[in-house]
Structure 1
Amino acid sequence: MSRADRLGPNLKELRLERGLTLDKLAGMSSLTRGYLSLVERGLKTPSITALLRVADALQVNIAQLFDMNAAPAPRYTLHRASDPELSSIDGTFGLTPLAAGRTRKMMEPFLMTPSTGPAARTGPRWAHGGEEMLFVVSGRVSVNLGAEELVMEKGDCLYFSGEIKHEVRSLGRQKAQVLVVIALPAEEAKPA
């Protein structure tokens, strides 16, 4: 079973270890019970924002949601290009944490492969505390940022307040790759 496939079972195990019901975790993470149930059963891939909320509510690093044996690196983490990418059950959305082994960090870096096509527009738009940076590594993306739609190409970089509702989707036939870095607000960031 891949690390992506372990997300749902790991989430359930962590929730039960803490004696939390789905309703209680939903309240703590500002997500719905139904949404969390779908994630636990592997029927829904959570957004970065949802992962941040769940990890915070469970008081774990996002890496532990994918790998229960994730051990923190004392001073750094190294993600190799040969490391496997994580993706959703339906294969339309990819999300690879780039500093998974490091706990108590002030930034969360990911490599994202956004969904493409009309189905990409059906999900909710997300907002979170802190700031976010998107750097297009390959392909083209559309970023809905508040009421504005921005088209970004390879090499383009966008930096914005995470509190603005936003969503990203690939444009064209080739899925784009986007480096996403989320800087948590000071009250949420935990020193190393």
Structure 2
Amino acid sequence: MAVRLLVASRNAKKLAELRRVLDAEGIVGIEPIGLDEVPDFPEEPEDGATFAENALIKARSGARATGVPCLADDSGLAVDALNGMPGVLSARWAGRHGDDAANNALLLAQLTDVPDARRGAAFVSACALVVPGGGETVEEGRWSGSVLREPRGKGGFGYDPLFLPEGSDRAAAELTSAEKDAASHRGRALRALAPALRALAERA
């Protein structure tokens, strides 16, 4: 009998990414489910000052509402020239949550006059695992790179078309899923969570 693990997201790509990481780490006995597969519950405002705080808010809320272990991530783009912004505001940078095109357009406009040498940035992800009666674990991953001057590629989501990973000649949106998993901030954070996920699987 597999342990159900609620992933606090309605993003099918995040569920698929977790499944690929579980497979790659050889972790069996966990059945990831999304928010669409559990009864609706009031989601608490993500008002933390850090990615880790927001990930814990989401994971605690999901675990408390459903009684099953909950994994949540909070991630975004930290741009050097913007003093680490958009940061925790990445998903709603242009005002409306999840409007990728508007967020990307605003970011490009804000960096119009910033020279290439100062366009450094990093994707940051904090992944929190909350197990009812079994504690909390938070891990962070960083993916360094820079902001391009125009979008490239059709894959990924969010700021992927504008992010050029360090040492790569392709934008994040031009990478395959496997390439992105191996390098990305969320992939790194999820792999760091592997011991906690393995311990959860052993409860099955």
Give the TM-score band, short-chain normalised: under 0.3
**Bigger helix fraction:** 2
Structure number with bigger Rg: 2
TM-score between the two structures when normalised by the length of structure 1:
0.25
TM-score between the two structures when normalised by the length of structure 2:
0.24
